[in-house]
Amino acid sequence: MINIRFPDGAVRSYAKGITPMAVAKSIAEGLAKKVIAASVDGVVRDASTPLNKDCELKLLTWDDTDGKATFWHSSAHLLAEAVESTFPGVKFWVGPAIDKGFYYDMDLGGRHISEEELLTLEKKMDELSKKNSEYIRKEISKTDAVAYFSEKGDEYKLDLLSGLQDGEITFYTQGNFTDLCRGPHIPHTGLIKAIKLTSIAGAYWKGDEKNKQLTRIYGVSFPNQKELDDHLLMLEEAKKRDHRKLGKELSIFTFDDDVGPGLPLWMPNGTIVIEELEKLAKETEQSAGYKRVVTPHIAKESMYLTSGHLPYYQDSMYPPMELEGVKYYLKAMNCPHHHKIFSAESRSYKDLPLRLAEYGTCYRYEQSGELFGLMRVRCLHMNDAHIYCAKEDFAKEFRAVNDMYIKYFKIFGIDKYVMRLSLHDPAKLGQKYINEPELWKETEEMVRQVLIDSKIPYVEVPDEGAFYGPKIDVQIWSAIGREFTLATNQVDFAQGRRFGLEYTNRDNQSETPLIIHRAPLGTHERFIGFLLEHYAGKFPLWLAPVQVKVLSISEKFNPYASEVTQALLKAGIRAELDDRGEKIGKKIRDTELLKIPYMFVIGEKEQNEGLVAVRRQGKGDAGQSPISEIITTLTSEIQQRHSN
RNA sequence: GCCGUUGUAGCUCAGUGGUAGAGCACUUCCUUGGUAAGGAAGAGGUCGUGAGUUCAAUUCUCAUCAACGGCUCCA
């Protein structure tokens, strides 16, 4: 007998060799039907794994994250089975579960799969799932495994096998499909009741663009049709919040073929959002001791050679233009320009920390395939600043920057974020990273300490640093679950020296300052893209391009409505008058769709009594109010930058 | 940059080997209406661009540009 402990703490005795599935059956038949896999001492295993010693057991169902992952991984095998039966001779690479679904990478030998064929595969999967084929695990020797895939001529699986040892190789078979796989899998294919193959894409073998490109089929599956329907509905909803769609509907930005890819044109509405954000940044930075600067959009090649950017990033800069025999580059970053401002005057320790801020316009030649709405563009406006400080001030300054991030997050109601501490890889010193092993270690430790001291949640990622120092990236998620790298906060111990930046310390000696690069609001492009999705286009009052729409009930009241509009404009509120000869219902509908926060309805009653009838977007009629009173209310809401 | 898909009016989208349609938006007229679409008329497109096949191309073929879904990349 063995003792099995359950998540609720209960311990029960079972015969040695019992499987999690049998345990589930002993508890309830209904439970057994739902069991997908089992967590045994924290390791996810097949529900058919014999339990031979005391253990902690958690029966996994669709409701568990690990259960879903197993379900989707098994779905990937089902996809492979369908593909193999439809297109014999296909070679498979790997088919993992992902965040929401699964994919399988395969070599179709030059064949293309069309949208219709994708539907055929989907039907085939449905058909195969109904066979209730068990996923059967088999341990196999390396020799036999190699023989099997050699016979099949599958060099991809042979490549996988080359990294495996005897004794750790298992095959899984369901129906007519056998795959090299560590598992675990669900009990049988019949559990996969609703399947949707979502897209076909190319994917480099092993993620390396030098390698051959395989065909990747993405899909998602569920234990019942309703969940699939819900999922598809959710995708539809997500589309409505897509910043590209909202940006067009709300006239925030546009792209034009003649201007060029990745070069957004900010329309009047978008420009208002930009200006409000800049106002916020300027206020915040001014009170934090920053000084504003303005620098040109281009600079000579020599400066980027000095900074060291050119050899590292030339490919992602616009090609140079030549004037009077000298090459000029469009700036892809603001730092070198700021360094030149630092070095323009002799600096004393009394000048430090010197914090130079600029909403700098940068141009980056992103590869064409990378462009994505406002999220990846070639012209961007960075909420940039560089802090020049003595080493002893570093921790304090770095922490103040982090505090500023948090302050902004509160204003925008961003409560889900993770900071990623990106470190260097010692093996790549001198190539990807500046060859200063000691400085790397030292600054990485300083940054880590600040994060620990400030109790900010963070994860460490190796080999992701900037070439001149470690950095912190802030990951946030928009309301539709899209992940953004919003902002970066970087330490730079290299450029100060490269630019010969110096200050005189207390002992009358020259020292090179440390530099902090920071951009809490990232770029206007990415941040406004994020905000559009975050707010679903319903900007809070302070950011709304049009804050109040004044709607006259009939043309008779246009003069008074116009007076109201003027009063609002005079009070600094962005108001517009709708004096069209339309009915009030129509005007309200149009304004609602434009997601304008406030509507003032003006009719006979309002005109006679000097009132406005207030209506809040999405919330309906909010009753009447005297004009002066509502102006006071709105002004205060705007000043406080209320989130919705 | 690579793989795949798409490209028709300002927007959303039908459609056809014989040089084009709808709804919304726009303009004008009628209506002056109290909290999510009143009615009518009109204007608007060399069907992304270039070449080829054809008596004839928006439709078929190729190239190119752009967008989209991924991969790679992201100071």
> CB A96: neighbour CB atoms within 10 A?
12
In a domain, A138, yes or no: yes
Alpha-carbon distance values, A377 to A260, A368, A469 (Å)? 10, 10, 25
Spanning CA of A272 to C1' of B36, the rounded length in angstroms is 26
Determine the structural domain holding residue A212 and report its residue range. Answer: 66-238
Contact indicator for A440, A202 with CB cutoff of 8 Å: no
In a domain, A540, yes or no: no
Assess whether A327 and A419 both reside in one domain: yes
User: Considering only residues 311-350 of protein chain A, which place a Cβ less than 7 A from any atom of strand B?
Assistant: 313, 316-317, 332-333, 335
Rounded distance between C-alpha atoms, residue A568 and residue A638, angstroms: 13
Beta bridge partners of A516: A387, A491
In a domain, A397, yes or no: yes
In a domain, A245, yes or no: no
Assess whether A45 and A153 both reside in one domain: no
**The pLDDT of residue A486:** 86
Lookup: nucleotide whose C1' is closest to A374 CA: B67
Assess whether A451 and A340 both reside in one domain: yes
Q: pLDDT digits over A132-184, tens only?
A: 999 999 998 999 999 999 988 888 999 988 888 888 889 999 999 999 998 89
Burial class (CB in 10 A: 0-12, 13-18, 19+), A209: exposed
Lookup: nucleotide whose C1' is closest to A465 CA: B75
Whether residue A184 has a cis bond before it, omega within 30° of 0 = yes
Identify the residue whose Cα has the smallest distance to the C1' of B48.
Answer: A257
Spanning CA of A562 to C1' of B41, the rounded length in angstroms is 30
Report residue A241: phi and psi, to 5°: -95, 0
Rounded distance between C-alpha atoms, residue A49 and residue A129, angstroms: 22
* Cβ of A23 near strand B (distance < 7 A): no
CA A533 to chain centre: 12
**The pLDDT of residue A632:** 97
> CATH no. for residue A474?
3.30.930.10
DSSP string across A383-410: EEEEEEE-GGGHHHHHHHHHHHHHHHHH
Assess whether A480 and A611 both reside in one domain: no
Closest CA to A272 of A547, A535, A533: A547
Residue A596 belongs to what H/E stretch?
Answer: none
DSSP string across A14-76: E-TTB-HHHHHHHH-HHHHHH--EEEETTEEE-TTPPB-S-EEEEEE-TTSHHHHHHHHHHHH
> CB A436: neighbour CB atoms within 10 A?
18
In a domain, A553, yes or no: yes
CA A530 to chain centre: 9
Q: Considering its fold, how many domains does chain A have in total?
A: 4
Assess whether A100 and A189 both reside in one domain: yes
Rounded distance between C-alpha atoms, residue A143 and residue A125, angstroms: 32
* Cβ of A466 near strand B (distance < 7 A): yes
Lookup: nucleotide whose C1' is closest to A376 CA: B74
Spanning CA of A421 to C1' of B5, the rounded length in angstroms is 37
In a domain, A77, yes or no: yes
Give the residue carrying structure tokens 């130079």: A356
* Cβ of A586 near strand B (distance < 7 A): yes
Q: For strand A2-5 and strand A55-60, is the pairing parallel, antiparallel, or unpaired? A: parallel
Domain endpoint, select from A208, A238, A268: A238
Lookup: nucleotide whose C1' is closest to A602 CA: B34
> CB A449: neighbour CB atoms within 10 A?
13
> CATH no. for residue A618?
3.40.50.800
**ipTM confidence:** 0.93
Lookup: nucleotide whose C1' is closest to A580 CA: B32
Assess whether A167 and A308 both reside in one domain: no
User: Considering only residues 366-395 of protein chain A, which place a Cβ less than 7 A from any atom of strand B?
Assistant: 366-373, 376
**The pLDDT of residue A322:** 92
Residue A360 in 3-state DSSP? strand
Assess whether A570 and A609 both reside in one domain: yes
Assess whether A530 and A570 both reside in one domain: no
Lookup: nucleotide whose C1' is closest to A260 CA: B66
User: Considering only residues 78-107 of protein chain A, which place a Cβ less than 7 A from any atom of strand B?
Assistant: none
* Cβ of A536 near strand B (distance < 7 A): no
Rounded distance between C-alpha atoms, residue A488 and residue A472, angstroms: 6
Assess whether A73 and A57 both reside in one domain: no
Assess whether A189 and A270 both reside in one domain: no
Domain endpoint, select from A502, A534, A566: A534
> CATH no. for residue A24?
3.10.20.30
Assess whether A360 and A423 both reside in one domain: yes
* Cβ of A424 near strand B (distance < 7 A): no
Residue positions counted in chain A = 644
- Regions of chain A short of the pLDDT cut 50: none
Lookup: nucleotide whose C1' is closest to A239 CA: B68
Rounded distance between C-alpha atoms, residue A264 and residue A249, angstroms: 15
Spanning CA of A245 to C1' of B14, the rounded length in angstroms is 21
**The pLDDT of residue A479:** 76
Spanning CA of A215 to C1' of B71, the rounded length in angstroms is 10
Q: For strand A417-422 and strand A458-461, is the pairing parallel, antiparallel, or unpaired? A: parallel
Lookup: nucleotide whose C1' is closest to A587 CA: B36
Q: Which nucleotides of B are covered by protein (CB under 7 A)?
A: 1-6, 11-12, 25, 29-38, 65-75
Residue A379 belongs to what H/E stretch?
Answer: strand A379-389
* Cβ of A216 near strand B (distance < 7 A): yes
Closest CA to A249 of A569, A533, A623: A533
* Cβ of A215 near strand B (distance < 7 A): yes
Assess whether A464 and A358 both reside in one domain: yes
In a domain, A539, yes or no: no
Rounded distance between C-alpha atoms, residue A407 and residue A42, angstroms: 39
In a domain, A542, yes or no: no
The 3 state secondary structure assigned to A493-548 is CCHHHHCCCCEECCCCCEECCEEEEECCCCEHHHHHHHHHHHCCCCCCCCCCCCCE
Domain endpoint, select from A212, A238, A264: A238
Spanning CA of A158 to C1' of B46, the rounded length in angstroms is 57
